[in-house]
Homo-oligomer: A and B are copies of this chain.
């Protein structure tokens, strides 16, 4: 990896986006500029809460095979699910991570910001699920 990009967002699993918005928007004072939306390919319903430099991604289960359902079985109140960093080229990043012995979960697919993403296995990343996301063109 040439250089780690922006910390795009922290993914927070929640049983209810409405409850997540109560905490991150109403209580902490984050801003929401886009309505919640479904991301069926990843089995999640998503809502971003903006901070001046980054975002919190609230993740609610979508469908019976949602990975968030398994997370909530272990953590019924929700909690930190993943951290997402930007990279310049997702295919180069995937090849680089695999060359360094990290397991990448599946092929790149379109993520919540419309650019391809991959996930790296937490067992190869010190217990943290890492999402790598190609920087949207025109940004930054």
- Say yes or no for A122: interface residue by CB 8 A criterion: yes
CB nearest neighbor in B for A27: B100
If A77-B123, A128-B12 touch, whether A29 touches B1 (CB-CB below 8 Å) is yes
Copies per assembly: 2
If A54-B54, A100-B27 touch, whether A77 touches B4 (CB-CB below 8 Å) is no
- Say yes or no for A89: interface residue by CB 8 A criterion: no
Within 8 A of B (CB), among A11-46: 12-14, 19-20, 23-24, 27-31
Query: How many chain-A residues does the 8 Å CB contact rule pick out?
Result: 45
- A52 to chain B: which residues have CB within 8 Å? 5-6, 140
- Say yes or no for A102: interface residue by CB 8 A criterion: yes
Query: Which of B6, B77, B100 is the one whose CB lies under 8 Å from A127?
Result: B77
